[in-house]
């Protein structure tokens, strides 16, 4: 055995190698944790069928934010993994797939399930209360969803929306309004809100015409609205049916001002109609508009969107983006990253500022926001507000 003393130079080299090895191991540790231990978020939404445009838009917005968080090291050194299932907006599949996803993937929370009937089915099933899991960004403003345990909405309710519209119309002399609604839980909630708002503001709800759920069979509604000769038509419709109504109403010579609910994707409508036919179409605004660059959340969204090549990003995607950002803020402060702890943190969150847009989830029978405004397409598809 060689017992020759180690030279000073050799000792320095050995020390340097040891420090370098320790540093390399330390730097590698977060990446090993990131790779091995993701934070799972689940999404059950329509990626096919008549509401696929909405499901894809919500997913694109949420993914845009989660990807940005992961590039910065994730949450508490762990990446976010978004796991999805396609329910084609069938309520029974929403329930089945949610249960399967929770059992198989153990998500700490769910995000952006679409549709009043779907969310009502989930609430009735009780899967969220049974598993102590919460859904952030439930895509509905119906009262039944707003009040459902475990469901958090990041925008105003449908009653907020129609009430604000009727209040505004009453101040500009409008007396007769017509309503087109999807004949399901969503539409009936809008109808109830419209009836209450009409009585409150002295407006006659001259006609309320329903069309079958998840169809574009709006011919009957077009005829009834034209016959009523109302001053304003409020579209309590989904995107595809809303676009079809606007087309047919114009073709039949309809003269009323059209107000679409916030659930109608304005990007899709503008693309389908073109700037000239879309001109004059008004719509509810319950989330920040993309031209509101004074808001930090809009600047952040637009910057990330500009660097993305996801074709599913649209005007509606900011709803999924805001839901994702609100959830991440709660994950960062939750006592632990378990479904029960995240649910408790969400239920206690009274002032989540995502960048100039603040959410309150602490009142269990209220939506996260009551903000409602209105905008209109002007010349060349420019949004006026």
Q: Using the predicted structure, report yes or no on whether residue 135 has a pLDDT greater than 80.
A: yes
Q: What is the pLDDT, as a whole number, of residue 126?
A: 97
Specify the pLDDT at position 32: 43
Overall average pLDDT of the 195-220 stretch: 95
**Lowest model confidence (mean pLDDT) among 44-48, 80-84, 193-197, 238-242:** 238-242
| Alpha-carbon dihedral sign for residues 283, 324, 89, 118 | negative
Rounded Cα distance between 139 and 114, Å, is 5
Q: Where residue 3 falls among pLDDT bands split at 50, 70, 90? A: very low
Side-chain half-sphere exposure of 206, counting CA atoms within 13 A:
18
Give residue 73's pLDDT band: very low, low, confident or very high (50, 70, 90): very high
Cβ proximity of 351 and 182 under 8 Å: no
Q: What is the pLDDT of residue 245?
A: 97
Q: Give the chain's mean pLDDT.
A: 91
Q: Could you read off the pLDDT of 349-368 as tens digits, one per residue?
A: 999 999 999 999 999 889 99
What is residue 35's predicted lDDT score, i.e. its pLDDT?
54
Q: Is the model more confident about 28 or about 354?
A: 354
Task: Read off the pLDDT of each residue in 210-233 and give the average, rounded to a whole number.
Answer: 96
Q: Which domains does the chain have, with CATH numbers?
A: 37-155+291-359 (3.40.50.2300), 158-261 (3.40.50.2300)
Given its phi and psi angles, is residue 191 left (phi above 0), alpha (psi -120 to 50 degrees) or beta?
alpha
Q: Is the pLDDT of residue 276 over 90?
A: yes
Res. 340 pLDDT band, cuts 50 70 90: very high
Nearest to 331 by CA among 54, 43, 134, 132: 134
Contacts of 162 (CB under 8 A, 6+ apart): 190, 193, 194, 197, 234, 236
pTM of the predicted structure, to 2 decimals: 0.84
The residue behind tokens 């676009």 is 243
- Are the C-beta atoms of 181 and 209 separated by less than 8 Å? yes
Q: How would you label 267-295 residue by residue, b for 16+ Cβ within 10 Å and e otherwise?
A: bbbbebbeeebbbebbbbbbbbbbebeeb
- Going by C-beta distance under 8 Å and a sequence separation of 6 or more, which residues neighbour residue 144? 116, 119, 120, 123, 185, 189
Give the distance from CA 146 to its chain's centroid: 14
The tokens describing 132, both together, are 């102590």
The predicted structure's pLDDT at residue 10: 52
Lowest model confidence (mean pLDDT) among 27-36, 39-48, 159-168, 331-340: 27-36
**Residue 332: per-residue pLDDT:** 97
Tell me, what DSSP letter sits at residue 78?
B
Q: Exposed, middle or buried by CB within 10 Å (0-12, 13-18, 19+), for 94? A: buried
Nearest to 111 by CA among 157, 58, 190: 58
State the CB neighbour count (10 A cutoff) for residue 366: 16
């Amino acid at each position: 055995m060689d017992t020759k003393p180690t030279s000073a130079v050799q000792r320095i080299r050995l020390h340097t190698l040891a420090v370098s090895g320790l540093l390399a191991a330390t730097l590698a540790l977060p990446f090993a944790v990131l790779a091995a231990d993701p934070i799972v978020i689940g999404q059950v939404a329509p990626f096919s069928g008549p509401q696929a445009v909405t499901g894809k838009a919500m997913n694109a917005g949420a993914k845009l934010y989660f990807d940005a968080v992961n590039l910065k090291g994730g949450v508490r050194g762990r990446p976010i993994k978004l796991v999805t299932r396609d329910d084609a907006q069938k309520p029974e599949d929403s329930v089945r797939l949610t249960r399967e996803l929770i059992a198989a993937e153990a998500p700490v929370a769910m995000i952006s399930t679409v549709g009043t009937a779907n969310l009502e089915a989930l609430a009735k099933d009780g899967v969220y209360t049974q598993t102590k899991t919460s859904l952030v960004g439930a895509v509905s403003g119906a009262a039944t969803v707003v009040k459902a345990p475990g469901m958090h909405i990041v925008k105003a309710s449908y009653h907020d929306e129609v009430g604000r519209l009727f209040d505004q119309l009453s101040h500009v002399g409008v007396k007769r309004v017509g309503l087109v609604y999807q004949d399901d839980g969503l539409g009936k909630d809008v109808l109830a809100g419209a009836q209450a708002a009409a009585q409150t503001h002295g407006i006659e709800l001259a006609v309320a015409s329903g069309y079958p759920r998840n169809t574009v069979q709006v011919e009957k509604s077009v005829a009834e609205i034209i016959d009523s000769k109302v001053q304003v038509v409020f579209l309590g419709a989904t995107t595809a049916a809303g676009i079809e109504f606007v087309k047919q109403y114009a073709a039949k010579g309809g003269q009323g001002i059209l107000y679409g609910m916030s659930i109608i994707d304005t990007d899709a409508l503008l693309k389908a109609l073109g700037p000239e036919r879309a001109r004059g179409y008004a719509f509810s605004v319950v989330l920040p508009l993309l031209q509101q660059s004074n808001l930090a959340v809009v600047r952040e969204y637009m910057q990330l969107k500009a660097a993305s090549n996801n074709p599913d990003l649209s005007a509606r995607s900011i709803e999924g983006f805001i839901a994702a950002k609100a959830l991440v803020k709660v994950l960062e402060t939750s006592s632990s990253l378990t479904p029960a702890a995240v649910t408790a943190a969400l239920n206690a969150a009274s002032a989540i500022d995502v960048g100039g847009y603040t959410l309150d989830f602490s009142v269990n029978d209220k939506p996260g926001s009551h903000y409602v405004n209105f905008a209109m397409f002007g010349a060349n598809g420019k949004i006026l507000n």
